[in-house]
Amino acid sequence: MIDNKNKATPIAVKVDDLTVAYNYKPVLWDIDLEIPEGVLMAIVGPNGAGKSTLIKSILGILKPIAGSVSIYGKPYDKQRKLVAYVPQKGSVDWDFPTTALDVVMMGTYGNLGWIKRPGQKQKKEALEALEKVGMLPFKNRQISQLSGGQQQRIFLARALVQNASIYFMDEPFQGVDATTEIAIINILKALRKAGKTVIVVHHDLQTVPEYFDWVTFLNVKKIATGPVKDIFNDDYLTKTYGINYKVSLQK
């Protein structure tokens, strides 16, 4: 299936000359990136490589110094509804007074637009998404009373509800157990099967070939991007992580 994705495949995400700095020192340098439609792509790189920063600037959360992002050939601003986002779990305060169902419902707010309130239809969609991630029994739980892995699945469900074409996920496997990891990767593979493009920041190098069909090496600059079977090799791993990467592989 992957093999028939030849030249005809449209480009889902295109990043041009993207440069981002927090305090004058660039953390992303001149990134050019093309992500074809329908891939399940891992972004790998060491801590501080700029993976989260890349996603945030693609999504317009951060303002880059230079560069542009287009989604299916049009500026990101016009294509927001096609894009869903799963932030890093630690980016919000989980002691916020709300329930799991309510958080998932937030995924429908984008399509609702200003002022309009979610109704039965949105609730049904949210419940379906909760079901998909196996969190239906917890729908009325206060979110601080969920475990880390459960919170992660709530975020995933919130993105699923957006019913987007492109999904950006920042470390969705962070702190989840083996069973949940398999459950999540199955959801991601189902998304790919439905023709969606899924971009995932990933830390476990060992599982890259098993989970993903596309990979981007990032360390301030883009090292390489392409099919896992072609470029996931020692050469690029060393270029990204330095010579010590083998230690982390063995762990």
Partner 1 sequence: MNIKEYIELLFTDYTLRTITLGTAILGAVTGMLGSFAVLRKQSLLGDAISHAALPGIAIAFLLTGTKDSNILLIGALVSGLIGTFWIRGIVKKTHLKSDTALGLILSLFFGFGMLLLTFIQKQPNANQAGLDKYLFGQAATLVESDVWLMALVSGICLLVLLFFWKEFKILLFDADYTKTLGFNTKFIDVLITSFIVLAIVLGLQTVGVVLMSAMLLAPAAAARQWTNKLSTMVFLAALFGAFSGVFGTAISATQNNLSTGPVIVIIAGVFVLFSFVFSPSRGLLFKQIRFIKNRRDLQLHKTLTFMFHIAEDHDNISHPHAIKILNNFHGYTRGTLQKLEKKNFVKLDGNMWSLTEEGYKTASNLYNQQNKTNE
Ligand X SMILES: Nc1ncnc2c1ncn2[C@@H]1O[C@H](COP(=O)(O)OP(=O)(O)OP(=O)(O)O)[C@@H](O)[C@H]1O
Instruction: Report the site for partner 1 in 5-24 (rule: CB under 8 A).
Output: 23
90-114: b (≥16 Cβ within 10 Å) or e: eeeebeeeebbbbbbbebbbeeeee
Please give the torsion angle defined by the CA atoms of residues 86, 250, 214 and 106, in that order, rounded to the nearest 10 degrees.
Answer: -10
| C-beta closer to partner 1: residue 2 or 96 | 96
Residues forming a β-bridge with 36:
11
The answer to whether residue 240 forms part of the interface with Mg ion (CB under 5 A) is no
The answer to whether residue 219 forms part of the interface with Mg ion (CB under 5 A) is no
Confirm if 71 and 168 have CB atoms less than 8 A apart. no
Q: What is the DSSP letter of 202?
A: -
Instruction: Report the site for partner 1 in 46-85 (rule: CB under 8 A).
Output: 56, 59-61, 80-81, 83, 85
195 contacts which partner out of ligand X, Mg ion, partner 1, none, CB within 5 to 8 A by kind?
A: none
Instruction: Report the site for partner 1 in 83-142 (rule: CB under 8 A).
Output: 83, 85, 87, 91-93, 96-99, 103, 106, 109-110, 112, 114-118, 142
Compute CA distances 135 → 32, 110, 177, 188, 192, whole Å: 38, 22, 15, 16, 22
The answer to whether residue 53 forms part of the interface with Mg ion (CB under 5 A) is no
Confirm if 127 and 139 have CB atoms less than 8 A apart. yes
The residues binding Mg ion (CB under 5 A) are: 52
The residues binding partner 1 (CB under 8 A) are: 23, 56, 59-61, 80-81, 83, 85, 87, 91-93, 96-99, 103, 106, 109-110, 112, 114-118, 142, 158, 162
